[in-house]
């Protein structure tokens, strides 16, 4: 196997595994896999699909596709429902030195995989977040398009910070999102992988952000690489106020699971503050004059309400002697 040099040290070329976790979204998954098949990579690469307990024939469809796939493609099952369980199964089953992740509702653009792989030519790179562009339904209203045009993260997972690569650990932009991220597999296992009390399936997002908070404490860089681009397709059923409210309520719950203090008096004070914030945001939501303003207030209210639910649950456990 060939080698490359980084900071005067000779290192072996890395191998790469593309990972997609999926549950009961066979047709969307196959569409994404067709785009992955069009990629090229300077290092040996494979593709791994984690079937998170699907009942729609996902595993059989992937196995059938594998016969004509340009690189080795395999499917493994993870019966425990939840994205973090599926991601941790991938950490165990994948063989690549670098894992490149995307979702079953994205379409990687040409050069996506190569951009991820080449970023690791510098030996101090721990992980990479690629650009995530958003494709709304063709019949989305101009009001929705305007409201979501500059939103970062959230239900759309937009991750677009221009055309210049940079280290994201300076705090000026979020850590990479799971729809388009990569990292060193052994280092990821070393920090404990993904928390199973986070991640969709548990009703709570942010398993990717929480992981990178721990992972980025290791020596090295986490890069934003704009050339590693995917397009996130938003289904029409997700473009509703109800879906956005549900998503942000889950985000509020995640914040408490990640950050909340355990002392009872601090939790009580936090609960009161969250109630006040939710009430104020509800008033602002009712007074909003545009969809963009309403979404902003809805997001803050739903996150406050979700956080309050988690704080109350933690208080109840403390009082029960937990």
In this predicted structure, what is the pLDDT of residue 264?
67
60 and 150 fall within a common domain: yes
Residue 132 pairs in a beta bridge with: 159, 230
264 and 209 fall within a common domain: no
- CA distances in angstroms from 151 to 134, 159, 212, 292, listed in the order given: 10, 9, 21, 10
How far, in whole angstroms, is CA 47 from its chain's centroid?
18
What are the residue ranges in the chain where pLDDT is below 70?
Answer: 1-13, 260-264, 320-322
110 and 224 fall within a common domain: yes
In this predicted structure, what is the pLDDT of residue 122?
83
* Nearby residues of 185 by Cβ (< 8 Å), 6 or more positions away: 17, 91, 94, 96, 97, 98, 99
196 and 270 fall within a common domain: no
In this predicted structure, what is the pLDDT of residue 317?
80
46 and 181 fall within a common domain: yes
273 and 140 fall within a common domain: no
140 and 111 fall within a common domain: yes
Can you spell out the DSSP letters for 251-285?
HHHHHHHHH----HHHHHHHHHHHHHHHHHHHHHH
233 and 269 fall within a common domain: no
Range of the domain at 307: 241-319
The owner of tokens 């069009």 is: 38
In this predicted structure, what is the pLDDT of residue 200?
83
Backbone angles phi, psi at 221, to 5 degrees: -115, 150
Nearest to 169 by CA among 202, 115, 125, 233: 125
42 and 174 fall within a common domain: yes
In this predicted structure, what is the pLDDT of residue 172?
80
Q: What is the distance between the alpha carbons of residues 18 and 179, in angstroms, rounded to a whole number?
A: 12
In this predicted structure, what is the pLDDT of residue 260?
62
Provide the CB-side half-sphere exposure for 290 (13 A, CA). 11
In this predicted structure, what is the pLDDT of residue 321?
56
Q: What is the distance between the alpha carbons of residues 273 and 204, in angstroms, rounded to a whole number?
A: 21
Residue 127 pairs in a beta bridge with: 183, 222
Q: Are residues 113 and 100 in contact, defined by beta-carbon separation less than 8 angstroms?
A: yes
Q: What is the distance between the alpha carbons of residues 129 and 181, in angstroms, rounded to a whole number?
A: 5
- A 10 A CB-CB count for 66 gives 16
Q: Last residue of some domain: 183, 212, 237?
A: 237
Q: Are residues 311 and 271 in contact, defined by beta-carbon separation less than 8 angstroms?
A: yes
Q: Last residue of some domain: 237, 257, 292?
A: 237
Q: Is 223 exposed, middle or buried (0-12, 13-18, 19+ CB in 10 A)?
A: buried
Q: Last residue of some domain: 220, 237, 254?
A: 237
Q: What is the CA radius of gyration of the chain?
A: 21
Helix, strand or coil, per DSSP, at residue 73: strand
What's the number of domains the chain is made of? 2
252 and 266 fall within a common domain: yes
146 and 245 fall within a common domain: no
170 and 245 fall within a common domain: no
In this predicted structure, what is the pLDDT of residue 318?
76
Q: Are residues 248 and 299 in contact, defined by beta-carbon separation less than 8 angstroms?
A: yes
């Amino acid at each position: 196997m060939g080698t490359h040099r980084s900071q005067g040290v000779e290192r072996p070329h890395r191998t790469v595994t593309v990972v997609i976790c999926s549950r009961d979204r066979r047709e969307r998954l196959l569409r994404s896999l067709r785009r992955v098949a069009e990629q090229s990579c300077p290092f040996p690469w494979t593709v791994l699909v984690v079937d998170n307990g699907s009942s729609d024939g996902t595993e059989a469809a992937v196995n059938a596709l594998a016969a004509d796939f340009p690189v080795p493609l395999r499917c493994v099952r993870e019966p425990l429902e939840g994205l973090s369980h599926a991601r941790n199964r991938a950490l165990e089953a994948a063989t690549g030195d670098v894992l490149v992740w995307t979702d079953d509702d994205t379409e990687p653009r040409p050069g996506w995989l190569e951009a991820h792989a080449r970023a690791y030519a510098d030996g101090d790179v721990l992980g990479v977040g690629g650009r995530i562009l958003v494709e709304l339904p063709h019949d989305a209203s101009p009001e929705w398009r305007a409201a979501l045009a500059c939103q970062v993260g959230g239900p759309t997972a937009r991750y677009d910070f221009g055309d210049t690569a940079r280290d994201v650990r300076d705090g000026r932009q979020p850590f990479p999102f799971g729809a388009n991220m990569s990292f060193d597999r052994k280092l990821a296992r070393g920090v404990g992988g993904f928390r199973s009390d986070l991640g969709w399936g548990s009703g709570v997002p942010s398993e990717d952000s929480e992981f990178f908070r721990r992972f980025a404490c290791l020596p090295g860089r986490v890069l934003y690489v704009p050339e590693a681009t995917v397009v996130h397709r938003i289904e029409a059923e997700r473009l509703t106020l109800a879906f956005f409210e549900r998503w942000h309520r889950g985000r509020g719950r995640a914040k408490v699971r990640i950050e909340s203090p355990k002392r009872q008096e601090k939790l009580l004070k936090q609960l009161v503050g969250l109630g006040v914030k939710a009430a104020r945001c509800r008033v602002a939501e009712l007074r909003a004059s545009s969809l963009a303003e309403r979404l902003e207030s809805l997001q803050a209210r739903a996150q406050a309400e979700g956080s309050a639910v988690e704080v109350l649950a933690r208080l109840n456990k403390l009082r029960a002697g937990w």
